[in-house]
Amino acid sequence: MADIPAEPFAFPARTHEMALVVIDMQRDFAEPGGFGASLGNDVYRIGRIVPDVKRLIEGFRAASLPVIHTMECHRPDLSDLPPAKRDRGNPALRIGDEGPMGRVLIVGEAGTAILPELAPVDGEIVIEKPGKGAFYATRLGEILKEKGITQLVFAGVTTEVCVQTTMREANDRGYECLLCEEATESYFPEFKAAAIAMIRAQGAIVGWTAHIDDILKGLPDAPNNPA
């Protein structure tokens, strides 16, 4: 198939080996009253990418390509939460504490759930990750190997933390990574811009970035694909 227009140069797409990874589109990060808002962040910035993330998910579904969702969350007994992680952030509301949407970032709590508009459908993989990167302490690597995936398209939040961390982990494991610019966001616009610049610097040292319409046009049988 044709390459996808991207930066710093065209992405050499192989759709039969491609999957979409949607990082942490959870209520606690995107809705008023959640953990992200408790840290003083403008959650509107996260919410506004939901339509583009949804378009991307629907494009991959239409093309019968794998969609993988991640959720940052911890066990109810906090046995997978290092004290160094718990002790940072908002002293008044930490991971595991009772918040407006239940215990913050705990498996099964309302705030930990993926936004309803982007919820996984039957057959889609959900990775519950205790760290920022989706490969740490999860089966993601095994799942991708089983499915013959070598290329990953990324969406989700936040660009400079969980998205970039997972892309760097994937890059070190030999995956070719493509970030959809409209389908990722940060609470801080300058952080998103810096992360995108770092990802595609020095000849795609971590990966490529592309616009959503170009990605969708590059998918077989995807919406907006004139072919």
The residues assigned a catalytic role are 24, 129, 162
Amino acid letter, residue 170: A
Q: Report the C-alpha gap between 180 and 190 in whole angstroms.
A: 17
* Cβ-contact 14, 104 below 8 angstroms: no
- Give Cα 134 to chain centroid, integer Å: 9
Q: Which of 24, 43, 48, 25 is nearest to 33 (CA)?
A: 43
Residue 102, both tokens:
């239940």
End-to-end CA distance of the chain: 11
